A and B are shown apart, each in its own frame.
Chain A
Amino acid sequence: MKVELWGTRGSIPAPGPETIRYGGNTSCVGVTLADGSMLALDAGTGIRCLGLALPDEPTRLHILLTHLHLDHIQGLVFFAPAFRPQTEIVIWGPASPEASLRDRIARYISAPLSPVEVRELPCDVSFRHCPESEWEIGSARIRAASVSHRGPTLGYRIDDGDSSLAYIPDHEPALGVDLEALEEDWISGFALARDASLLIHDGQYTDAEYPDHVGWGHSATSHALTFARRTAAERTLLFHHDPLHSDDQLDDLRAEARQRWVELGGEAGAVELAVERTGYELPARAPAAAATV
């Protein structure tokens, strides 16, 4: 399984010289499975560059949306493959009692917010609610589960051969609880992340910032590290960077997170901050190895 980070920022795009190293695009992770099947996890502004990198030929692509906040769908109408008739796109997302996934996404892909409507997209696009049980895409088994965030929100686990990716970009598992002491089955997202080869997890706030953002649906650094340690993920990427965090601030956060991870008994280097345009190969039965895209 190959994992590529196309957007690592949370909340709103944050382009500029102060965010150029960690990236300013919002959430999008490209995944290429062992059989060549392609997935996009979320469709923030990062999916625009993912689309430009895809070959201009008949393509089938699955987009797995964690939720429909704008920073996770904003790139959809700028995703080049959606404007090619030879492309088939399946969009998966959380169900809601209020309206179908298609209708909820159409609120964004419609006037006055968008110059095109869903029905005008030249590609063959379909919308599916994620099932409660595991399902298959290509060579992978996919599992989705509701996680603690604002509004209906999913986390995903992708098992492909012996490697596994857990993707929980917007997550506040420590809301109102002591994450250290809580039993495993009561931790939001635990089953998704358990023993994952790679965990991509919300790390939006520093511990100093979190008290002013309790209930906003995101994690402080210590929460993300505790979650990673409790779930025994082999490698963890802190993701969904706050748009106010500059590269220099994220450098400091990276150093702090790495040090605290070791203090918690973790393997040095197993925790990193997500960097846009970085790729990871998840080979079977071996720790994830990083490589620049």
Chain B
Amino acid sequence: MTQRPLELILARNLMSALSTPAFLVDEGGLLVFYNEAAGMLLGKRFEELGTVGPQEWGSLFGPFDESGEPIPYDDLPLVRAVRAGRPAHAEMTVRSTDGTQHDVEVSAFPIQTPHGSQGAIAVFWPALAGSNGAGPA
């Protein structure tokens, strides 16, 4: 068994207590957790879905840009945060399991530790009405 880095454990603990949808990926970009609020947004709890690989994520929930085109994996804020070690922000649309679409703003930031980057956190906010026109920032 591989022990998760403490920073990821603590991040998950914090996210579990938040009512804001939040997602956690490890240093390889693997989606390793999202909280109950995120589960409500997507229509599926994390416990039902389990760990999701980078490519599967897009096919399940989008996300899409303002023209309805899937946002390339490499442009997702979480991926940019993990790879570049920099914060990233974007507006996008995600699709829940019942087909409902949600316009959201996403802010992602890397989890930097003394041993380097261990992953990233993304927090989703409801987009202001009609604001989803910018695509990935």
Interface residues of A (CB under 8 A from B): 95-97, 132, 145-148, 175-177, 184-188, 190-191, 194
How far apart are B11's CB and chain A's nearest CB, in angstroms?
11
How far apart are A273's CB and chain B's nearest CB, in angstroms?
27
Task: Let me know if B114 and A177 touch, CB within 8 A.
Answer: no
**Contact of A148 with B6 at beta-carbon distance under 8 Å, contacts A132-B115, A191-B1 already known:** yes
**Contact of A176 with B6 at beta-carbon distance under 8 Å, contacts A185-B1, A191-B1 already known:** no
Q: Which residues of B contact A96 (CB under 8 A)?
A: 114
Interface string of B46-81 (1 = CB under 8 A from A): 000000000000000000000000000000000000
| Chain-A contact segment, one of B12-20, B87-95, B98-106 | B12-20
Q: Which residues of A contact B9 (CB under 8 A)?
A: 148, 186-188
Q: Mind listing 8 A-B residue pairs with CB under 8 Å?
A: A95-B114, A96-B114, A176-B14, A177-B13, A186-B4, A190-B1, A190-B3, A194-B1
New A-B contacts (18) at CB < 8 Å, excluding given A145-B3, A177-B16, A191-B3: A96-B114, A132-B115, A146-B7, A148-B6, A148-B10, A148-B13, A176-B13, A176-B14, A177-B13, A184-B1, A185-B1, A185-B3, A185-B4, A187-B9, A188-B6, A190-B1, A191-B1, A191-B2
How far apart are A154's CB and chain B's nearest CB, in angstroms?
10
Cα A32 to Cα B111 in complex, Å, equals: 39
**CB under 8 Å from chain A, chain B span 94-127:** 114-115
How far apart are B6's CB and chain A's nearest CB, in angstroms?
4
**Contact of A145 with B4 at beta-carbon distance under 8 Å, contacts A95-B114, A176-B13, A176-B16 already known:** no
How far apart are A12's CB and chain B's nearest CB, in angstroms?
26
Contact partner of B13 (CB less than 8 A), chosen from A97, A175, A185, A194, is A175
- Chain A, interface SS category: loop
Task: Let me know if B16 and A97 touch, CB within 8 A.
Answer: no
Question: Nearest chain-A residue to B7 (Cβ)?
Answer: A146
Q: Which residues of B contact A186 (CB under 8 A)?
A: 4, 9, 12
Contact partner of A145 (CB less than 8 A), chosen from B6, B13, B114, is B6
Q: Which residues of B contact A132 (CB under 8 A)?
A: 115
Cα A148 to Cα B13 in complex, Å, equals: 11
Q: Which residues of A contact B12 (CB under 8 A)?
A: 177, 186
Task: Let me know if B6 and A147 touch, CB within 8 A.
Answer: yes
Task: Let me know if A97 and B114 touch, CB within 8 A.
Answer: yes
Q: Which residues of A contact B114 (CB under 8 A)?
A: 95-97
Q: Which residues of A contact B4 (CB under 8 A)?
A: 185-186
